[in-house]
Copies of this chain bind each other. A is one copy, B any other.
């Protein structure tokens, strides 16, 4: 099974209304809610693809209970660790008349040092059954900024390849722990490296310890820098829709590729197709299976040779 870790799990609430009047009182027409956080979205997609997954992370309070109740009703195996703090909510206010959404993100709980230590032990009991582990999303308050580095070392000790989707200090402090793959987006690439050129930035993350870097560049598709080579992959057509969750779909596809060991171009084609299929679905964690099927063979994947020369001491073993 693939283990997904969501340290700042959320209850994603969607309010549908005709139009939101700022500074007024607005009656919501319909409410939907489900478990969220990037790792949960990845697990939902893997589950829909028929791949066994286990969801872990931190969940607390009545909001945490609502998160777990929804995981259960979605058929996702839930091994969340309960914490004392109250899990966060996100509220997405969808205005049907303008087709646009306002998002409110609560800060989430403060996790104690004792809870974090307990979580490391908890993950260690789950790793032996995992073929890969996915570490996704923001860190709740109270965790050390190198929390992902701790989890990566734990996975490394157990011989489980780890995929990391994080940003800022959570990403930069984790690179030296050798994640099998990191998946920053364009903004995260720049923030982590100070480099505006995506190729140079991806190379820098690779040089800093990530075995593979796959950057998601929105309409420009994916950019991969790995020890086996470098590729660009993009969809032949640009789909309109909900970009939230497109990155999680790419992570799901890339993690499956890591587990099956299929060639990089195939992994990247699948990641682009699944990502586009996620854009075509209204909720993060869902994808449109027709779009997925239709696009899979149409994605263009082209190798390229990064210049200045791609190979570095860190990424290519010396002869």
Q: List chain A positions with a Cβ less than 8 A from chain B.
A: 13, 15, 17, 20-31, 62-63, 65-66, 69, 89, 91, 93, 95, 98, 100-107
The 9 A-B residue pairs with the shortest CB-CB distance in the complex, in nearest-first order: A23-B100, A25-B103, A62-B66, A28-B106, A31-B106, A62-B62, A22-B102, A27-B105, A26-B104
Q: Beyond the given A13-B89, A23-B102, please list 7 additional residue pairs across the A-B interface where CB-CB is below 8 A.
A: A15-B106, A22-B22, A23-B98, A27-B107, A29-B107, A31-B106, A91-B91
Q: With A and B bound together, what is the CA distance between A23 and B106 in angstroms?
A: 16
Q: With A and B bound together, what is the CA distance between A31 and B107 in angstroms?
A: 8
Assembly of this chain: how many copies? Answer: 2
Q: What are 6 inter-chain pairs, A to B, with CB distance below 8 A?
A: A22-B102, A24-B103, A25-B105, A26-B102, A26-B104, A28-B107
Q: With A and B bound together, what is the CA distance between A89 and B15 in angstroms?
A: 11
Specify the main secondary structure of chain A where it touches its partner: strand
**Contact (Cβ within 8 A) B100 A93:** no
Complex contacts, A93 vs chain B, CB 8 Å: 104
Instruction: Kindly report which residue of chain B lies nearest to residue A61, judged by CB atoms.
Output: B66
Instruction: Kindly report which residue of chain B lies nearest to residue A65, judged by CB atoms.
Output: B62
Q: With A and B bound together, what is the CA distance between A65 and B31 in angstroms?
A: 18
Instruction: Kindly report which residue of chain B lies nearest to residue A11, judged by CB atoms.
Output: B62
Question: What's the minimum C-beta distance from A247 to chain B, rounded to whole angstroms?
Answer: 14
Instruction: Kindly report which residue of chain B lies nearest to residue A93, judged by CB atoms.
Output: B104
Instruction: Kindly report which residue of chain B lies nearest to residue A15, judged by CB atoms.
Output: B104
**Contact (Cβ within 8 A) B102 A20:** yes
**Contact (Cβ within 8 A) A105 B29:** no
Complex contacts, A28 vs chain B, CB 8 Å: 104-107
Complex contacts, A66 vs chain B, CB 8 Å: 62
Instruction: Kindly report which residue of chain B lies nearest to residue A13, judged by CB atoms.
Output: B89
Interface centre among A26, A31, A66, A102 (most CB of B within 10 A): A102
Q: With A and B bound together, what is the CA distance between A101 and B20 in angstroms?
A: 12
Complex contacts, A89 vs chain B, CB 8 Å: 13, 31
Question: What's the minimum C-beta distance from A198 to chain B, rounded to whole angstroms?
Answer: 22
Instruction: Kindly report which residue of chain B lies nearest to residue A33, judged by CB atoms.
Output: B86
Q: With A and B bound together, what is the CA distance between A279 and B22 in angstroms?
A: 21
Q: With A and B bound together, what is the CA distance between A104 and B24 in angstroms?
A: 9
**Contact (Cβ within 8 A) B62 A103:** no
Complex contacts, A22 vs chain B, CB 8 Å: 20, 22, 100, 102
Q: With A and B bound together, what is the CA distance between A17 and B17 in angstroms?
A: 22
Question: What's the minimum C-beta distance from A297 to chain B, rounded to whole angstroms?
Answer: 34
Question: What's the minimum C-beta distance from A270 to chain B, rounded to whole angstroms?
Answer: 28
Q: With A and B bound together, what is the CA distance between A106 and B17 in angstroms?
A: 10
Question: What's the minimum C-beta distance from A212 to chain B, rounded to whole angstroms?
Answer: 28
Question: What's the minimum C-beta distance from A84 to chain B, rounded to whole angstroms?
Answer: 14
Complex contacts, A26 vs chain B, CB 8 Å: 102-105
Interface centre among A65, A89, A95 (most CB of B within 10 A): A89
Whether A102 contacts B24 in the complex (CB less than 8 A), given A62-B62, A107-B29, comes out as: yes
Question: What's the minimum C-beta distance from A43 to chain B, rounded to whole angstroms?
Answer: 21
